[in-house]
A and B are shown apart, each in its own frame.
Chain A
Amino acid sequence: MPAALASAHLRTRRRVFALTLIAALTGTLVLATGASAGFWTPESGGGSANAESIDTLYGLILAVAAVVFFGVEGALLYSLIKFRARKDAVPAQIRGNTRLEIGWTLGAAGILVILAVVTFVMLDDIRNPPNSDADGYPTARIVNVQNASAYQPRPPNGRALNIEVNGQRYIWRYTYPDGDDNPLNNTFNYKTLVVPTKTTVTLTIVAQDVAHSWWIPELGGKMDAVPGHTNFTWFKVQKPGTFRGQCAELCGRNHADMLATVVALEPDDFKAWLENKRDEIDANNKEAQQRREEELRDIEEGDSPAEDADPQEEETANQGEGS
């Protein structure tokens, strides 16, 4: 009978359709589990303790989320298969169930209370840095920046290497402390932030032009650099290594190229690097000073400024990569 044929044909088509759907979903799931551990959790490991804590917190929420996810999707799938329209099936005319509804409202609230408590318990480890190790780089007490809004992390003994991170299109500038009040004569570097291991490093994050966001995934969460505001974060690296990140707040056309690298060195190597950098900057400054004086002399003598003095040169010398 044509009608029966048609319905059989329809049934096959439905089956093919359902099978395709199931195959696609299973494929996605297999692909998901087959991939590396990084598939499910943020970057972590080898970095800083705050990143590790955030990773743990993420893992806990993921576990709770998985239970909710499979519970609800399971119930949905079950009711679709079990209660699909069949001959003689009569839909139950239920309009609600107050007890059940109050129950799942409280259940949802309960889960969120647990998540909030876990977050508060872990918050201290994420926000507040530990002291530097005894064999770390010697640091001074960090000066408390009076700030009405942002939270400035401080280790218990108040001592940390406090570096200013300045976001500018499309590069990061790092200014190291040197003990005096004049920040203009401090050692600085671009692009690469060189830090000592076993030492608590606090960052004071500012922006020069538009908003940027400082983010090295393995060294803790991101903090926005907003013009007119000061933001803070910290990290403490135990082993020498290189950590990469990039600006995370849209800052213009070359936002994608505003990269940041943190290189952690043993405290002694760091000390050597810092002194080396200091000398390099001093030498460049001296050279620039000399050139300015020469140019000034030339002008006084009535000649045009020296043609060979390339204004770029000084800039490039100062921006020289560290490590």
Chain B
Amino acid sequence: MPATETATLVPEITAHQVDPPQRGWVSWVTTTDHKKIGILYLVTTFVFFILGGVEALLMRVQLGTPDNTFLTPSVYNSLFTLHGTTMIFLFVVPIMAGFGNYFLPLMIGARDMAFPKLNALSYWLLLAGGLVFYLSLFFSPPEAGWTSYAPLSAETYSESSGMDAWIFLIHLTGISSLLGAINFYATIANMRAPGMGWGRLPLFVWTLLTYAVLLILALPVIAGAVTLLLTDRHFGTGYFDQGQGGDPLLWQHLFWFFGHPEVYIMVLPGFGIISEVLPVFARKPIFGYKAIAAATVVIAFLGLLVWAHHMFTTPSATIVLVFFMISSFLIAIPTGVKIFNWVATLWRGTVEFKTPLLFAVGFISVFLIGGITGVFLAVFPVDWQLHDTYFVVAHLHYVLVGGSVFAIFAGIYYWFPKITGRMLNEAIGKWSFAFMYIGINVTFMIQHSIGLDGMPRRIYEYPDVGNLGLYNLISTIGSFMLGFGVMLTVWNAVRSLKKGVAAGPDPWKGNTLEWFTESPPPVNNFDVVPRVRSVEPMKDIRRQVARQSEPSSDLSPAPAGTSP
């Protein structure tokens, strides 16, 4: 019969058997659920954040007084190499993937990522990269800095196998991020809820999309570069050896062609978190949705064209310097636009000072400083004085601590109730913010002056001249305040897991679909995926619920998720 024939042609899923759900640690090791993988990512990267922080504090102790002998030069060089590499490759980039893993499917109304098994592989490769790198602590950790400039990273000058551990860390975390990026891209492109066109995509998802594209464009370059470094070190090639016709500057070009997009890879998802948090707590739609989404894409594009502003002091023709100054200037425009839009989002709103909002506003106020000092560094004659000094250290920490870390903490306070079903304690959160905010400014503001006084970065000791001793002591004190602030949040999170107030599905009256489901969400995320009619689907849903319950409003309880 024709009717039955067509019926058999319809593809269908047949379950041959239903496995009992895994329990205990096995459920974590074997999981392909994006939420569990997201939690694995978040916890693992946070552990690396603490490790990187301890390394930073050890360095600050060493620099607390002039001519200090607390650390040996070799240990100090290892520490800044570990610190930089950890914070970038094992914390900021993958924690964004952690948030992405957990919230991307929820925000677009999907039931999982496009490739759940690939997703699990991404996480385990990340962990493997981190372990390979940190195991070098037991023999000889790398000492060439997170930039591993040739020829210092060549075998002649870095015999230690720690250098090779660094190379394998780049490879493993690189493949992890690439797989993750492909997964994000495929998920966003194909699995959005009905009605969610590109113009209704949450801004955090827009930034994740750009994050994914940037990773796909930039990571193969560093993967190639470290492979060349590996063959230079062990198989007799001379890509970066001027004696064999290679060129040390080739490394710098390849590294920064990846390295500068990496900066935007680290900060763009942070921009996304800020763009989600501000409208929720100002009770006002985001100001200029299209401008913010467009600025994200423009920043990503320009981010690929500015790499040699890290190389203004290398032998370069003037026209090259001018090109990279102008392209770096250009990138300040979309960044500025975003900051203006965020301030305008608060304008005429009703701002509720919850901890996520504090971190988001803290982000704007300190990231601005990092952005402004970036313009100083883009002017190449000025960069000749500031390059490789503590001014640059201050700039990059304003961008990465004041920028990415604050955004990450805003994300932690904003989404912790969704992940765990419990609220974080507001008082501890605010104290944590206060210590971190003051800590960041005390630590890094003074470092501009340290740099202007002529102190280069990456030196294990400095002489007692001028105010260097005092300035460095201030910076060291600030770093411990910052560290204390971070630990308050760790304590808050651990404490709230048991003692936190039950959150309910929508404690903040959010705008996006992750608040539509329970906290924590069930394995399948949503029993019903709602049709999306605007950028703020949850606002529509709340309005609809209110309308439907209106006639009997005296009797029926408040709609689920309206009370904090």
Tell me if B562 is interfacial: C-beta within 8 Å of chain A. no
- CB pair B460 A83 closer than 8 Å: no
Instruction: Report yes or no: B458 in contact with A231, Cβ–Cβ below 8 A.
Output: no
CB <8 Å contact, B284 and A248:
no
- Interface pick from A37-45, A291-299, A310-318: A37-45
> Does A146 count as interface, using CB distance less than 8 angstroms?
no
Cβ proximity bits A91-114 to B, threshold 8 Å, 1 near / 0 not: 111111100110011001100100
A229 touches B315 (CB 8 A): yes
Contacts A79-B351, A223-B384, A226-B248; A115 near B329 (Cβ below 8 A): yes
* B244-255 near A? 1/0 per residue, CB < 8 Å: 000111000000
* In contact, A254 and B314 (Cβ under 8 angstroms): no
Whether A217 contacts B434 in the complex (CB less than 8 A), given A91-B283, A93-B284, A222-B313, comes out as no
Interface size on A, residues (CB 8 A): 96
- B74 on the A face (CB < 8 A): yes
Inter-chain contact B376/A84, CB cutoff 8 Å: no
For residue B157, which residues in chain A have a CB less than 8 angstroms away from its CB?
Answer: 209-210, 252
B residues 318-359 near A (Cβ < 8 Å) are 318, 320, 322, 325-326, 329-330, 332-333, 336-337, 339-341, 343-344, 346-353
Q: For residue B445, which residues in chain A have a CB less than 8 angstroms away from its CB?
A: 28, 32
Contact with B along A71-93 (1 / 0, CB 8 A): 01101100110011110011111
Q: For the complex, would chain A's binding face be called helix, strand, loop or mixed by DSSP majority?
A: mixed
Q: Does A185 contact B (CB under 8 A)?
A: no
A135–chain B nearest beta-carbon distance, Å:
29
Whether A115 and B375, one on each chain, are in contact in the complex, defined by CB atoms closer than 8 angstroms, is yes
A-B contact count (CB 8 A): 271
Cα-based distance from A209 to B241 in the complex (angstroms): 10
CA–CA, A279 to B287, complex, Å? 75
Interface residues of A in 239-294 (CB under 8 A from B): 244-256
Which of B325, B365, B385, B437 has a CB less than 8 Å from the CB of A76? B365
Residue in chain B with minimal CB distance to A253? B73
User: Scoring A residues 21 to 57 as 1 if CB is less than 8 Å from chain B, else 0, what string do you get?
Assistant: 1001100100010011011111100000001011001
Residue of A nearest to B334 (CB): A105
Is B438 close to A, CB under 8 A? yes
Q: Does A150 contact B (CB under 8 A)?
A: yes
Contact of A195 with B by CB under 8 A: no
15 of the cross-chain contacts (CB-CB < 8 Å) are A42-B385, A54-B381, A61-B376, A61-B382, A76-B343, A83-B350, A89-B350, A95-B285, A101-B340, A108-B336, A150-B315, A227-B242, A229-B242, A249-B388, A253-B73
Known pairs A96-B289, A115-B379; list 9 more (Cβ under 8 Å). Answer: A38-B466, A76-B364, A85-B350, A94-B348, A95-B286, A116-B326, A221-B381, A221-B387, A245-B454
Give the A-binding residues of B (Cβ under 8 A).
73-74, 77, 143-145, 149, 151-152, 157, 242-243, 247-249, 282-291, 313-318, 320, 322, 325-326, 329-330, 332-333, 336-337, 339-341, 343-344, 346-353, 361, 364-365, 368-369, 372-373, 375-376, 379-389, 427, 430, 434, 437-438, 441-442, 445, 449, 452-454, 456, 458-462, 466-467
